[in-house]
Amino acid sequence: MGGMGRLKSYLWRYWRRYLLGGLCLFGTATLVMWIPWWIRESVRIIEQGGPIGDVTFYALLIVSAAAAQGIIRTFSRSLIFNAGRDIEYNLRNDLFAHLQKLPISYYQSQRTGDLMSRVINDISAVRVLLGPGVLNLVNAPLYYLYAVVLMLSMDVRMTLAAVLPYPLLIWAVRNFRGKILTASLRVQEQMAELSNHVQENLSGMHVVKAYNQEANQTREFVGLNEDFQEKNLELARLRGLINPFMQGISGLTILIVIWYGGIRVIHGDLMVADIVAFIAYLNILAWPTAAFGWMLSLVERGRAAMERLEEIFKVEPEIASPPLPDSLRECGAGIEFRGVWFAYDHKVNGQAALKDINFALPPGRSLAIVGRTGAGKSTLVQLLPRLYDVTSGEIRIGGKDLRALSLSELRKAVAYVPQDPFLFSTSLRRNLAFGRDGVSDEEIEKVIRVARLDRDLEIFPQGLDTIVGERGITLSGGQKQRATLARALLLKSPVLILDDCLSSVDAQTEDEILKGLRLILKEKTCVIISHRISAVKEADEILVLEEGKIIERGNHQELLLKGGFYAELFR
Q: Evaluate whether 64 touches 88 at the Cβ level (below 8 Å).
A: no
Mean pLDDT over 363-370 rounds to 89
Contact 397, 414 (CB under 8 A): yes
Alpha-carbon span 506 to 508, nearest angstrom = 6
Helix, strand or coil, per DSSP, at residue 7: helix
pLDDT digits (tens, 9 = 90+) for 86-143: 999 999 999 888 888 888 888 878 887 788 888 888 888 899 889 888 888 888 888 8
Q: Are 191 and 121 in contact (CB under 8 A)?
A: yes
Q: Residue 479 and residue 502: Cα distance in Å, rounded?
A: 10
Task: Classify residue 119 by its DSSP letter.
Answer: I
In the sheet where 366-371 sits, what is the strand order?
414-417, 495-499, 525-529, 366-371, 541-546, 549-554
User: Residue 561: is it exposed, middle or buried by C-beta count within 10 angstroms (0-12/13-18/19+)?
Assistant: exposed
Instruction: Please provide residue 552's backbone torsions phi and psi, each rounded to the nearest 5 degrees.
Output: -145, 150
- pLDDT for position 395: 92
**pLDDT tens digits, one per residue of 437-460:** 878 888 888 888 888 888 777 788
pLDDT digits (tens, 9 = 90+) for 135-153: 888 888 888 888 888 888 8
Asked if residue 219 has pLDDT above 70, the reply is yes
The predicted-structure confidence for 37-57, as pLDDT tens digits, reads as follows 888 888 888 877 778 888 888
CB 431 within 8 Å of CB 487: yes
The CB-side HSE value for 484 (13 A sphere, CA atoms) comes to 27
- Spatial separation of the C-alpha atoms in residues 247 and 287, rounded to whole Å: 8
Residue 138: per-residue pLDDT: 86
Q: Which pTM was predicted? A: 0.77
How many whole angstroms separate alpha carbon 129 and alpha carbon 271?
Answer: 43
pLDDT (tens digit per residue) in 236-268: 777 777 767 777 777 788 888 888 888 888 888
Task: Output the average pLDDT for the chain.
Answer: 83
Q: Measured between alpha carbons, how far is 482 from 478 in angstroms, rounded to an integer?
A: 6
Domains and CATH numbers, the chain: 3-192+232-313 (1.20.1560.10), 335-570 (3.40.50.300)
